[in-house]
Amino acid sequence: MTDVLIMVFGLIVIFISIMAHEVAHGSVALALGDSTARDEGRLTLNPLKHIDPFGTIILPLFLALIPGNSVIIGWAKPVPINFNNITDKKFGALKVSLAGPLSNFVLATVFALIIRFVPALNPEMNFIFTIIIFYNLILGIFNLIPIPPLDGSHILFDLLPQGQTLETIKGFLYQYGVFILIFVLFIFPRLDWIYGLTEKIFSLLTGQPLTLSF
């Protein structure tokens, strides 16, 4: 399998995983009483409904074309959620925020357990599952970074004591967070710390070292 095919397959995996991530947000919101995502047709795996021009197309392609870079990340257009409709006023927002990263970690874990407990898995399937695990772990970890529009910011804001100081910080980050994130990604495009953490989790789940070659 050539490097180009690996890159193309990786981009496909990322795109599907990002969609699953957003659908997870909307599905948990629906379960908690808010049907906004469903009403606006966002509880679907139709890719056209989830494309964010920068986060879904430009950024992943940019990272894929960096020589020697093995970490490709991105995000989709956030699903619309009206938190006023959420029935769980105490933990509802936190549950919705956690749903996206957890969906990626669950997908990674399922395929990791197959690698770990199916000894007859052929090398081709082992490699395909490795790519799926790798990118879902990358997406899950990346989305926990506490900078808007990533889920980590919402999780952090939900956990911190509410007050005027927090509202001021939230206002600033919601306004400029995406620019801060883009700056960080362009200054440190390889994100080696994410790769290192992903490598450790991969080995823990599968019992094998992470190998991104075939």
- Buried b / exposed e along 128-143 (16+ C-beta atoms within 10 A): bbbbbbbbbbbbbbbb
pLDDT score at 47 = 81
On the 0-12 / 13-18 / 19+ scale of CB atoms within 10 A, 117 is: exposed
Output phi, psi for 17, to 5 deg.
-65, -35
Query: Domain map of the chain by residue range?
Result: 3-206
On the 0-12 / 13-18 / 19+ scale of CB atoms within 10 A, 38 is: middle
Q: How large is the average pLDDT for residues 145-152?
A: 90
pLDDT score at 41 = 92
Cβ distance 19 to 101 under 8 Å?
no
Alpha-carbon torsion 74, 77, 79, 80, what sign?
positive
* 47-52: long-range contacts, CB 8 A cutoff, minimum separation 24: 47/15, 47/19, 49/77, 50/18, 50/19, 50/22, 50/76, 50/77, 51/76, 51/77, 52/76, 52/77
**Cβ neighbours, 10 Å, residue 5:** 10
Confidence of residue 82 (pLDDT cuts 50, 70, 90): very high
pLDDT tens for 85-138 read 999 998 999 999 999 999 999 999 999 999 999 988 898 899 999 999 999 999
Q: Examine the pLDDT at 1 and tell me if it is beyond 60.
A: no
**124 in active site:** no
pLDDT tens for 41-55 read 999 988 888 888 888
Name the one residue in this structure whose structure tokens are 């056209």: 48
pLDDT score at 204 = 97
Of 22, 40, 124, 199, the active-site residue reads 22
